[in-house]
């Protein structure tokens, strides 16, 4: 009943015009990275509200959402998981973490990754370091979304000024071919620089000449102009 009610709420807020725009923005066309993804055209703030309303949804019902072809249903399912994870004890956190990995096929667009991976995978790994080798497995996957999950999961480590996971993941992905990975790595490196500019400089001095340009531009975005120009020129 609760699952049906959630879907009805999403349908109420559907916006055909916005759905068309989102379908283009998230690259749902033939041969694109999100081919076939279906949008209802609902804003993220509205989806957050719905997720909070249904935060007691059972994992079995969330699993149904994560298997949906509708983008917003998957995102609301993930936002509910994030809400549940925040309030969970350690036993339930472990259950949610494993559930996330078991249903990772539904985490298949960049917004789905970005709004869930740091807040579930990243935070869980901070407190359960024995599972850190998972990132090495994900980052070497042929699946772009698993690689992006590995990158974004290092965000909570950066906030604690523990940069090694981000640096190691970034080094592995220096030769990655996908623009969405370049942006994700550059973004996390930029966060490293905001916390400790020397740590970012140490990485860039070693790698800036071989980094994809998008990755480099994202990484140096918050630096002063003169320094940015030096890195872009390769010194």
Contact between 169 and 185 under an 8 Å Cβ cutoff? The reply is yes
Report the pLDDT value the prediction gives residue 40, as an integer from 0 to 100: 97
Task: Give the pTM.
Answer: 0.95
Cα 167-170-176 angle, rounded to 5 deg: 170
Query: Could you report the per-residue pLDDT of 177-198, keeping only the tens digit for each?
Result: 999 999 999 999 999 999 999 9
Query: Could you report the per-residue pLDDT of 35-50, keeping only the tens digit for each?
Result: 999 999 999 999 999 9
CA distances (Å), 101 to each of 105, 120, 143, in order? 8, 10, 14
Alpha helices per DSSP H over the chain: 2-12, 16-25, 44-53, 59-66, 71-87, 90-102, 110-116, 123-127, 133-139, 144-152, 155-159, 164-172, 179-195, 197-207, 213-219, 225-233
Task: State in words which class domain 1-105 has.
Answer: mainly alpha
Domain boundaries, the chain: 1-105, 117-235
Which residues of the chain fall short of a pLDDT of 70? 235
The CATH number of the structural domain formed by 117-235 is 1.25.10.90
Q: Do domains 1-105 and 117-235 have the same CATH topology?
A: yes
The phi, psi pair for 176, rounded to 5°, reads: -60, 145
């Amino acid at each position: 009943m609760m699952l049906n009610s959630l879907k009805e709420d999403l349908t109420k807020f559907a916006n055909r015009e916005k759905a068309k725009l989102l379908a283009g923005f998230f690259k749902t066309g033939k041969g694109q990275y999100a081919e076939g993804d279906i949008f209802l055209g609902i804003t993220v703030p509205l989806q957050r509200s719905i997720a909070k309303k249904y935060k007691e949804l059972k994992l079995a019902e969330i699993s149904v959402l994560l298997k949906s072809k509708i983008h917003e249903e998957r995102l609301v399912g993930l936002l509910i998981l994030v809400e549940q994870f925040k309030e969970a004890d350690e036993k339930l956190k472990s259950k949610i973490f494993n559930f996330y990995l078991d249903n990772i096929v539904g985490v298949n667009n960049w917004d789905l990754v970005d709004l869930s991976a740091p807040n579930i995978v990243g935070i869980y790994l901070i407190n359960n370091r024995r599972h850190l080798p998972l990132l090495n497995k994900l980052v070497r996957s042929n699946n772009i979304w698993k690689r992006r999950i590995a990158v974004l999961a290092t965000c909570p480590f950066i906030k604690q000024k523990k940069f090694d996971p981000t640096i190691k993941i970034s080094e592995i992905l220096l030769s990655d071919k996908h623009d969405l990975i370049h942006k994700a790595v550059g973004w996390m490196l930029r966060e490293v620089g905001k916390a400790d500019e020397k740590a970012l400089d140490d990485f860039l001095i070693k790698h800036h000449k071989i980094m994809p340009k998008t990755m480099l531009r994202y990484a140096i975005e918050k630096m002063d102009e003169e320094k940015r120009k030096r890195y872009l020129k390769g010194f």
